[in-house]
Amino acid sequence: MKWFYELVYGRFRAPWDIGPRKELVELVEAGRIKPCKAIDLGSGTASNVVFLAQHGFDVTGVDFAAAAVELGRKRAAEAGVTVSFVQDDLTHLQHVTGPFDLLVDYGTLDDLTPPNRDRYLQNVLPLTHLKSQFVLYCFEWEPRWWERPFFHNMACEPGEIERRFGLHFDIECYMRNTDYSQWPAGQAVYLMTRRQSHE
């Protein structure tokens, strides 16, 4: 999939290039998330990191696509904000160290295979500390039989976020929308807070 993102970010305008995401904006403007040291896990078009930097956050954007990192640097410069961009793989981090007060993921985790979702969690947990907040957006629905062979890496199944993160985070489902008359059929946003793990 890396070649796909290199091509999209390097040559085209991505269809998901729609500005900072609504739920993140709401949480910041409501004061539920305050300026702090933040990281965008899969920074892509850089809309979220630019928004956060404009609102007083110390932001790092990480993406595995060099074209995304280049695009992010360009957009941060155009917006007149300072953002640190790093090219790295969230399933095998080598160039990013924490901790961070806020983690943001809009559509990265659900793009991974189940084994790589496990590796993602193993790599992301060390970026947190007690009380770190985590805003996680994902496609989420129960895949229908005809979707399973082709789209099993595109969405999280209901309950998967709680199963994967519940040992380490208090989890609030901030938004969930499921409509099987549309495709993709569902999406959800979680606001999680790191707590002491009970293993």
Please state the pTM of the whole predicted model.
0.91
Side by side, the strands of the sheet bearing 37-41 are 84-87, 58-63, 37-41, 102-106, 133-139, 186-194, 169-178
- Res. 188: pLDDT tops 80: yes
Cα separation of 194 and 103, whole Å? 11
Q: pLDDT of 137-175, one tens digit each?
A: 998 988 888 877 766 677 889 999 999 999 999 999 999
- Res. 187: pLDDT tops 70: yes
- Res. 114: pLDDT tops 80: yes
Determine the pLDDT at residue 141: 84
- Res. 135: pLDDT tops 60: yes
> Counting beta carbons within 10 angstroms of the beta carbon of residue 199, is it exposed (0 to 12), middle (13 to 18) or buried (19 or more)?
exposed
- Res. 110: pLDDT tops 70: yes
Tokens of 97: 């160290």
Which of residues 7 and 56 earns the better pLDDT score? 56
| Cβ pair 120, 112 in contact under 8 A | yes
Cα separation of 34 and 146, whole Å? 43
Q: pLDDT of 86-100, one tens digit each?
A: 999 999 999 999 999
| Cβ pair 164, 190 in contact under 8 A | no
Largest Cα span, the chain:
48
CA torsion 173→21→181→114, rounded to 10°? -60
Mean pLDDT, the chain, integer: 90
